[in-house]
Amino acid sequence: MSEPLRSLGFLTIGLFDGRDPGPGHESTLRLIELGEQLGFDSAWVRHRHLQYGISSPVAVLAAASQRTRRIRLGTAVIPLGWENPLRLAEDLATVDVLSGGRLEPGVSVGPPTHFEQVRGALYPDTAEAEDFGYERVRRLLDFVRGVPATDFGGTEGIEVFSERVQPHSPGLASRLWYGGASLRSAQWAGANGMNFLTSSVVKAERSEDFGAIQLSHVRAFRDRHPDGVRARVSQGLVVVPTDSASREQRARYEEYARGRSARTGRPQGQARLMFAPDLVGPSAHIAERLYADAAFREVDEVAFALPFTFEYDDYVQILTDIATLLGPALGWRPGGSVVPS
């Protein structure tokens, strides 16, 4: 038996046309506005560098913060290999202040994608010295928490300097998430007091059963977190309810899921990645499948991912069905989410 769903969110990649990127970014902002109108607790954006998806989620969420008043705004996730932790801490704190404390930043570690091809542009002089491991997250955590970034502070002429990152947003550190697909990442996030994002991708390290793997990550995270079973975990799966979809939409959604199903049965590639199947169908059917999911039964927050390649009208239909049918079938009610500050 699962606990009632407390927090309902959605995730979008924010695709756009490279020849005219404005409309795609506007569509992403309109989806976030729609999410707030439908009662969603959170809206999350993905991060894509050198692709036709959101390359600067913090900037997009800054814009979204001025067009919404209640919905929480998350990143899932910012790959820190592309970032300077001190500068990112400044950007995150600024957007958190602008949003009134609604930012939920998710981050991850590892070398940038296609690092050998991009290292000359990203780190022309320091590529060999860069640390792409957990220490990069720890630096970000320290700066967001207010640990001094310099030993200089005070007045110099007419300028006043701070020893720590400014602005400082006191509640932001408690809303930092780590997006992990391995047991080690789950353990590290818990031990370092972060929240944990688990998605439709995990590493098959000790099992080839997706549900068992994800459940082990949730429990390992909470076993090491100071808050124990109260530590926040959000599960992200691709969920496509079809209740109000047209016949053409349903056929397209089902074809999309079939085209991705081959990757779900066994580990993929050298990293042995396991993918969860996309959940497509009536909300009542999806709810049954979620209640049968061992990891879902141990979380009360979700951020359902929208498929990458659908049209804006498809997303409107999917979000509306999630908010009005699937969410209530999972015990959710609008405005029921309370987030620690």
pLDDT in tens, 132-154: 999 999 999 999 999 999 999 99
**Per residue in 294-326, pLDDT tens?**
999 999 999 999 998 999 999 999 999 999 999
For the four alpha carbons of 245, 251, 252 and 256, in that order, the dihedral sign comes to positive
Residues 235-282 pLDDT 10s? 999 999 999 999 999 999 999 999 999 989 899 999 999 999 999 999
Are the beta carbons of 203 and 274 closer than 8 angstroms?
yes
Q: Is the pLDDT of residue 337 over 90?
A: no
- Indicate the Cα dihedral angle 327, 332, 334, 337, nearest 10°: -130
Q: What pTM does this model have?
A: 0.95
Task: Give, in words, the CATH class of 7-151+163-329.
Answer: alpha beta
d(CA 194, CA 176): 6
What one-character DSSP code corresponds to residue 149? Answer: S
pLDDT one-digit tens code per residue, 166-186: 999 999 999 999 999 999 999
pLDDT band at residue 15 using 50, 70 and 90 as cut-offs: very high
List the domain boundaries for the chain: 7-151+163-329
Percent of the chain past pLDDT 70, that is, above it, reads 98
- What is the band of 340 on the pLDDT scale with cuts at 50, 70, 90? very low
